[in-house]
Structures are given as C-alpha cells and as structure tokens.
Structure 1
Amino acid sequence: MAYDPGAIDATLAAAVGDEPALIAELRFAFVEGAERALTAMTLAKDAAEWSAATARLRGLAASFGALRLMALATAAGEGRAHDPDTLKSLRRAVSRL
C-alpha cells in the first residue's frame, strides 16, 4: 500500500475548507496524536494496554484518512505486543506524515 502524502490534506480540506493555516494546525495535531499513541504502545505494560494504544492510533488514522497508518495499526493490534518490527514500521509511517 503506497503512501499518499495528499490524502490527509485532502481529508482536512474537505472538513474545513480552503484554510491553509487551519489545515496545517490540524495536521500538526494529528502527527502529535500519532506520536503519543506510539509512545503509549512503547510504554504499554501488558497486552491490554498495547491493544488500547493500537486502537487509539487506528481510530486517529481513520479519522484523518491515513489509510496506510490505519492498516499498520490494525495489524499491530492483531499481532504480538512490543514487536520491534511493528514499532519500526509504525514509526516510519508516522515520520512520513
């Protein structure tokens, strides 16, 4: 699944119109939220906390139209908690936002 750098901006523009400053602010808030979810995944003490953090990331990604990130978060929730390859993939996806 390829990364579409315009998908998030298109989703935001559809929601708020042609307001570049607001789009930039919302994009920043989205990236910050994704980074917080990744931190929560990293710090999760058990599978339940891991699952909750992946669900937050998945929901956040879905609400912003970040389909690749949503798919990765879904796979993380179905996989082994604290899997280093999963975390690496998620970090890479968030860094590309």
Structure 2
Amino acid sequence: MAVLSNGFDATISAAAGEDAALLAELRAVFIESLERQVDLLSRARCDGNWAVAAQRLKSLGASFNAPTLVALADLALDSAPGDPTVIRKLSQFAGEIPAS
C-alpha cells in the first residue's frame, strides 16, 4: 500500500517552501497527530468518542492531502467502536510513514 500520496509531499512542501526545518516539523506534527488520534480511537468504547476520533483522523488526512488516511477514517466511521481491524489498519498506516 502506498502510505502517503505525492499530494502529501506536495502539500507540506508548498507550506514549508524552502525551509527544511519547517518541512521536517510539519511531517513530525502530522505523525504525532495521527498517532494521538489512533490511540484515542483505540481507547474509545462509545459511539461518540469513536466518531470524534475518526472525524479528527479524516480531517487530518484531508488537511495534509493523505487520501489513504481519509479512506481509513471513513472505514472507522462505518465501523463499530473498538473494531480491531480498523485499529490495526490505522496503526499499520501510522507505522509505515517515513519520518523524513
């Protein structure tokens, strides 16, 4: 699976311009936000908390032009709270993102 699209790199490159430090920081913030929301999703046991975490993941994916993340968030929104398949797929996605 292609973890991130070329659109992701283009989006953060456009935001950072020629600033390599900012580019690295944007990538790090994306990964940190992704991991935090996947953790919240994995601990959600009610529909409300599950939906909030899934919506945040979808927004993160849309903001950074990461269509795979948007699709995984949609899968979470269509699933029951605590669905281990969804959590596993999101965790795998997060683990495959290169730090730089």
RMSD: 1.5
Task: Name 1:22's counterpart in structure 2.
Answer: 22
* Stretches (4+) displaced over 6 A: none
Question: Are 1:85 and 2:85 matched, yes or no?
Answer: yes
**Structure 2 spans left out of the alignment, 5+ residues:** none
Which is bigger in relative contact order (C-alpha 8 A, separation at least 6)? 2
CA distance change for structure 1 residues 6 and 96 in 2, over 3 Å: closer, same or farther?
farther
- After superposition, what is the alpha-carbon deviation per residue over 1:12-62, rounded to whole angstroms, capped at 9, x for unaligned? 111221222111111001100001101111111301100000000110111
Helix, strand or coil for the counterpart of 1:82? coil
**1:60-75 superposed matches below 5 A:** 60-75=60-75
Provide the C-alpha distance between the structure 2 equivalents of 1:70 and 1:5, rounded to a whole number of angstroms: 12
Residues 9 and 27, structure 1, Cα contact 8 Å, conserved in 2: no
The 1-side partners of 2:67 and 2:5 are apart by 11
Q: 1:42–1:4: structure 2 CA closer, same or farther, 3 Å change rule?
A: closer
Identity of aligned residues (%): 37
| Equivalences, count | 97
Counterpart of 1:55, as a letter, is Q
Q: Where is the helix percentage greater, Structure 1 or Structure 2? A: 1
Structure 1: gaps spanning 5 or more residues: none
- Paired residues of 2:37 and 2:53 also in contact (CA < 8 A): yes
Give per-residue Cα distances to partners, 1:68-88, cap 9 Å, x unaligned.
Answer: 011101111111111111110
